[in-house]
Structure 1
Amino acid sequence: MHWLQIVRLSVLGFAIFCGIVVASLSAHLIAYVEENFGGYYAFAALGVATGGLTMLSLPVILIIDLLRKGAFTSLVVVELSWLGILWVLWLATAALTVDSTSAVFTTCDFIYPILNQLCHETQAIEAFSFLAWIALLAYTILLLIVALVNASRGAPMWKSTVAASGGIAPSPAATAGAGQQVQQQQQQQPLMTTPMTPPPAGQQPMQQYQPQPIYGGQPHTGAYPQQQQQQQPAPTPLSGVSHTQNGSVSGYSSYPQV
């Protein structure tokens, strides 16, 4: 349950309580005045109507919302419309009560106790009417602001319930910024390497065998291959020796003769 649901339940519950109080006091005032004076006050009749509508309609909305998700009576557009009608009725009840009793019940200091009782009941009707009006008006404005903000952020909630909306939707810029930040953190995270354990004391570390490259048929043991082998001296013409029949030695060249 998010914060908007808590505010909704609190306001509607308080409005139901105000409706019960105002409807009960107004009904008693009408019954007494009609029995003793043969008439009734208009503000008392309006108090019965407003309090009766409130204490009958709001519990139905809450119960249907609890039993069935996404009901028609729980839609935001329907709730805004009905609560707007109710707070207008509560404002009219409070204003009419003040206008009708301001000249009669200025102070509740009468000789007859019944008049003092009627005066206190009238003041209670006036007070609870104003309280219900303020509570419903504040919640209606709050719900309207949340709906407009969500609509501007691409998540309209007019045809959804308060429970399904989840409060104020995050802005697209904030969502994109959070995604980029998470991606950057993942890219900047260093790779986890296994630390090398040092060898025990007195033991030489073992070197890993690496195959050596072979150059010219012989393996090369250095870190880098030799850039250039040492230049061999140019071969010199070799002289051949032959023996003649008379035992003399004659030389011949290894180069072919032209």
Structure 2
Amino acid sequence: MAPVALIRRVVLSTALVFSVIALGLAAAVTSTSTKAWGITFVFAALGITAGVLTMITVPTMIALEITVRVETSWLTFLSILWFGTGVHAAVVISGGFWFDCADLGNGLDDIDAGACHEVSAIAAFGFLNWLILIGYSIMLIIMSRIAASRKQPNVWASSVADAPFSAPASTNESVPMSYTSGTGGTAQGGTGGPIGGQPAAYNTSGYVQTGAVHV
């Protein structure tokens, strides 16, 4: 397996596992907040959305080969969702909203303490998934641009496994259709006259020059 393809499988598999965990935690926090106050937190809603989308699309991406352009675009979108999840959860933790998470460890009841731990874990997995997915997407973009600068065709339309990331620069240059050796299409002797009195009847221009035959 090529190094890039191996990195891809590790990244997507890791993001999928983290997404399953974060989704379960977000669902648990939502259940607690709904029962206690009848509300749903933004970070929990983002975590559930990002987790569901990741669980639906990433296994398909692992099983199938999609183009580099589509892969980088979609993973960048998922990374933004996970970043938003992590930021909103971190705000809840640092601000001490609702669950008094700023006083974690200072005599909170079991419900609040458990919820705070869940929020902390959601923030951690949100940031981890963001770093993993955006880092991988940036790597693909840089490698694709380098390959494109080497005149490798269709790198953005190729799958990650088939993309010519490590191929050398293309040396394919157009060759002129016509090339005439010598001057005027004739084989020149030392003084510029025809050799042996015969006019030249060769060139690579696609036509033959003719002339009188000297006996």
Q: TM-score range by the shorter chain?
A: 0.7 to 0.9
Q: Which residue of 2 aligns with 1:159?
A: 157
- The partner residue of 1:117 within 111, 114, 122 is 114
CA distance in 2, matches of 1:4, 1:98: 33
> Match of 2:161, SS?
helix
Normalized per residue, the structure richer in strand is: 1
CA distance in 2, matches of 1:111, 1:62: 43
CA distance in 2, matches of 1:98, 1:48: 16
Q: Which residue of 1 aligns with 2:102?
A: 106
CA distance in 2, matches of 1:36, 1:106: 19
Offset of residue 106 of structure 1: 2.0
Q: Which residue of 2 aligns with 1:19?
A: 19
> Match of 1:40, SS?
coil
Contact 2:146 2:165 in 1 (8 A): no
Contact 1:2 1:166 in 2 (8 A): no
Contact 2:152 2:169 in 1 (8 A): no
Q: Give TM-score, length-normalised by structure 2.
A: 0.73
> Match of 1:125, SS?
helix
Q: Which residue of 2 aligns with 1:60?
A: 60
AA aligned to 1:139 is Y
Offset of residue 160 of structure 1: 0.8
CA distance in 1, matches of 2:69, 2:11: 17
CA distance in 2, matches of 1:107, 1:125: 18
> Match of 1:170, SS?
coil
Contact 1:3 1:167 in 2 (8 A): no
CA distance in 2, matches of 1:92, 1:164: 33
Q: Who wins on radius of gyration, i.e. which is larger?
A: 1
Q: Which residue of 2 aligns with 1:3?
A: 3
Q: Give TM-score, length-normalised by structure 1.
A: 0.61
Q: Which residue of 2 aligns with 1:80?
A: 72
Ranges in structure 2 where 5+ consecutive residues have no aligned partner: 172-215
CA distance in 2, matches of 1:16, 1:108: 29
Ranges in structure 1 where 5+ consecutive residues have no aligned partner: 66-73, 174-258
Contact 2:23 2:52 in 1 (8 A): yes
Q: Which residue of 2 aligns with 1:51?
A: 51
Contact 2:46 2:82 in 1 (8 A): no
Offset of residue 154 of structure 1: 1.3
Offset of residue 45 of structure 1: 0.8
AA aligned to 2:152 is A
Q: How many residues align?
A: 166
The structure 1 segments of at least 4 consecutive aligned residues displaced by more than 4 Å after TM superposition are: none
> Match of 2:88, SS?
helix
Q: Which residue of 2 aligns with 1:127?
A: 124
> Structure 1 residue 137 and structure 2 residue 129: aligned?
no
